Amino acid sequence: MKKPIIRGELPKGIEMVLIPRTQFEKMFQEKSALKLSKEDINMSELISSVAIEIWRLGKRIEISKHEFSNGSGKDTNPVIDQVQRIRDVFKKQDIEIRDHTGAYYNDGLSLKVLHVEETENIPKGKMQIIETVKPSVYYKSQVIFHGEVIVGKSKEK
């Protein structure tokens, strides 16, 4: 049976060497298993992909919350809390995930329109986003991913 290590005691044959922290960090970085340069990581693509998946997860949670509501009106689900914490992290980093559903559409918006369909409830001459397929992602108010939407237009000519 092995003898337990007592604080300050090292196993037989191992010596303790004290080195300055900066030297240790440099050695650690040199020996790290994976070295990535800025060229290896497309940060806007990474951020956009994670943001879109967080948005999708939030949407699914909202749907399931309504389907399985216990009538208390109180959000006690830890998954909901976790999604909100991730959104808060994004917000602190000036990353915004924007769902466009319900907004009026015009050609000046930085969105990718996947489909336009005629609908009843839209005023004549107006176009409205009836579904966000993927949200827009902004970093410091600049678009890093153009949202994908379905637009509705009035049936009236």
pLDDT digits (tens, 9 = 90+) for 54-99: 999 888 888 777 666 555 555 567 778 888 888 898 999 899 999 9
Residue with tokens 């992909």: 49
Does residue 146 belong to any structural domain of this protein? yes
CATH number at residue 56: 2.30.22.10
Distance between CA atoms of residues 147 and 99, nearest Å: 8
Distance between CA atoms of residues 145 and 110, nearest Å: 9
Does residue 2 belong to any structural domain of this protein? no
Distance between CA atoms of residues 20 and 27, nearest Å: 11
pLDDT grade for 37, boundaries at 50, 70 and 90: low
Does residue 55 belong to any structural domain of this protein? yes
Range of the domain at 77: 43-154
Does residue 28 belong to any structural domain of this protein? no
Does residue 9 belong to any structural domain of this protein? no
Q: How many independent structural domains does the chain possess?
A: 1
User: Average model confidence (pLDDT) for the chain?
Assistant: 80
Which pTM was predicted? 0.64
Distance between CA atoms of residues 116 and 129, nearest Å: 9
Does residue 10 belong to any structural domain of this protein? no
